[in-house]
């Protein structure tokens, strides 16, 4: 699989047209979200957005997906520098960087290849679709580190699994294995080769009309505002797609019993 930078903390590759893969690449620390990795993550997503990316897959190098935030910097420097205001000023950009999958215009798939902890769970939840390997385990042990959950944990977990199960995970910090994660709705499927499965799904999505897919992602994101809001959005978004060349290609391909070739126009 070709890569942009083999030594980077996040490696971006393009295994198929329209499909990009961002691999968290610090296996020696179980892909913890270090400052170096956060910078590399932002660079990788910027490059993915500059390409003709239609789907992004996120996965981890080695045996872990992501062990969460690296907070070793809390023990560095003078104690007077670790103030609430300074911590908050540092936390918010960190949160916003790792939650970027929610705001990217194209779908993002998490290929959870192994254990995922804390903020790493939030990264997976920020993705549109999640698949897990049989070795994946999800845990949010924030309170057992003496800290409140961060990076949207108190919103993303209830959205995915409901308030009751979110309470269970956040209060107990216990590990949720792959099959239970599937039962709870943390993931869509469990696959032996989770990256290969994710790439197969990504390739299928990449063959859909890109304008329609992007507008659908936006519609799903704002659907929490209610049915009427969604109806008003769809009454605008659907006519937009009806004015594209892709619509005519989709109809022609259906009539000719062939696969459509969408250009995003």
Please check the confidence at residue 5 and state whether its pLDDT lies above 80.
Answer: no
CA angle 83, 86, 90 (to 5 degrees): 135
Please check the confidence at residue 111 and state whether its pLDDT lies above 80.
Answer: yes
Higher pLDDT, 59 or 6: 59
Say what the pLDDT of residue 74 is. Answer: 60
- Mean pLDDT, to the nearest integer, of 231-240? 96
Give helix then strand counts, H and E, for the chain.
10, 9
Helix (H) or strand (E) holding 162: none
The SS3 assignment for 91 reads: helix
Distance between first and last Cα of the chain:
29
Pair type for strands 10-16 and 19-24: antiparallel
Tens digit of pLDDT for each residue in 39-76? 999 999 999 999 999 999 999 999 999 999 997 766 65
Please check the confidence at residue 141 and state whether its pLDDT lies above 80.
Answer: yes
Say what the pLDDT of residue 89 is. Answer: 86
């Amino acid at each position: 699989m070709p890569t942009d930078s083999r030594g980077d903390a996040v490696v971006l590759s393009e295994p198929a047209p329209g499909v990009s893969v961002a691999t968290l690449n610090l296996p020696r620390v179980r892909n913890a979200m270090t400052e170096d990795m956060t910078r590399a993550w932002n660079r990788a997503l910027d490059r993915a957005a500059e390409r003709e990316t239609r789907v992004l897959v996120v996965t981890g190098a080695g045996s872990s997906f992501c062990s969460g935030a690296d907070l070793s910097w809390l023990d560095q420097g003078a104690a007077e520098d670790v103030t609430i205001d300074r911590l908050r000023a540092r936390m918010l950009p960190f949160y916003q960087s790792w939650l970027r999958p929610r705001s990217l215009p194209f779908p993002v798939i998490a290929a959870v290849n192994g254990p995922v902890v804390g903020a790493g769970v939030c990264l997976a939840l920020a993705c549109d679709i999640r698949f897990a390997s049989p070795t994946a385990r999800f845990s949010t042990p924030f309170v057992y580190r003496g800290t409140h959950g961060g990076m949207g944990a108190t919103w993303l977990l209830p959205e995915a699994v409901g308030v009751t199960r979110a309470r269970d995970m956040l209060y107990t910090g216990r590990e949720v294995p792959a099959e239970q994660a599937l039962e709870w709705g943390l993931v869509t499927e469990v696959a032996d080769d989770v990256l290969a499965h994710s790439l197969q799904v990504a390739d299928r999505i990449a063959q859909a009309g890109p304008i329609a897919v992007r507008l659908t992602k936006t519609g799903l994101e704002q659907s929490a505002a209610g049915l009427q809001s969604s109806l008003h959005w769809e009454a605008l978004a659907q006519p937009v797609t009806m004015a594209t060349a892709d619509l005519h290609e989709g109809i022609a391909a259906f009539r000719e019993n062939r696969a459509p070739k969408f250009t995003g126009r």
